[in-house]
Amino acid sequence: MSSTAPDMGRRDGSFEREPARRVFASELRECRYQFKVGEDEKSPTFVLLPTGERSNRIFVSGTLTEKTRQGEQNIFYRGRVIDPTGTFFIMAGSYQPEAMQQLAKIETPAFVAVTGKPNLYQKPDGSFLVSVRVEAITVVDKETRDLWVLDTAAHTLDRLDALATGTSPDIVKAKEQYPTLDPAVYRKIVYDALAQIKM
């Protein structure tokens, strides 16, 4: 296998892999602030989640409803992954050959689990798009998707609790960047997501 992702390059001992945050589609969609830590070309890029946490990587599980092949010379795949709250836009190109092959093979619709890096783009019309560059994607069962909803609900609630009282740099920045954010709305999103899981 030749899938040594660039982030696997381990600098002796000091390397710590960025954790994959758990975030619902409807929260990720609201990201408007992206920043870099360090000056290096390879320094990690983060999007700031409205609930007050930076994210360089996310882990999501949902239903892959469609995928399209695009490009002539540089083939890449786009896909849509649906969670109970909205849609994740995922893509895998020739820089992620393993991920692209995995995505290409999957027959839609299917429950999938995706690990990837969120990126914030501004479209020519001025609107924003958060797209997820896939590092790994696999077909999973419904139970995994349900576990993800619980997991993501718990993490989102944790972030909301911290947002109410916390003073971390990310929380301060989030309040500055997303001044109209209403925590009650996100709490409702979490509730609705959970309510969609049938017992």
- Which residues bind to other proteins, rule: CB under 8 A? 1-5, 8, 12-14, 16-22, 59, 61, 112-115, 135-140, 143-144, 146-148, 150-151, 153-155, 157, 160-161, 164, 183, 187-188, 190-191, 194-195, 197, 199
Instruction: Fill in the DSSP letter of residue 4.
Output: -
Return d(Cα 55, Cα 23) in angstroms, integer: 9
Nearer to other proteins, 129 or 185 (CB): 185
Q: Which is nearer to other proteins, 54 or 128 (CB)?
A: 54
Cα separation, 97 vs 90, whole angstroms: 14
Q: Return all residues near 197 (Cβ < 8 A) that are at least 6 apart.
A: 84, 146, 149, 150
Nearer to other proteins, 1 or 123 (CB): 1
Instruction: Reduce the DSSP state of residue 104 to 3 states and report it.
Output: helix
Q: Which is nearer to other proteins, 37 or 129 (CB)?
A: 37
CB of 22 to other proteins, least distance (A): 5
* Six token digits for residue 125: 């019309």
Q: Which is nearer to other proteins, 88 or 148 (CB)?
A: 148
Q: How far is the CB of 108 from other proteins (least distance, A)?
A: 16
CB of 189 to other proteins, least distance (A): 9
Give yes or no for a contact between 196 and 169, defined as CB atoms under 8 angstroms apart: no
Q: Whose Cβ is closer to other proteins: residue 17's or residue 32's?
A: 17
* Greatest pairwise CA separation for the chain in angstroms: 51
Give the integer Cα–Cα distance in Å for 135 and 80: 15
Shortest distance (Å) from residue 127 CB to other proteins = 29
**Secondary structure of 140-187 as H, E, C letters:** CCHHHHHHHHHHHHHHHHHHHHHHHHCCCHHHHHHHHHCCCCCHHHHH
For residue 20, the minimal CB distance to other proteins (Å) is 5
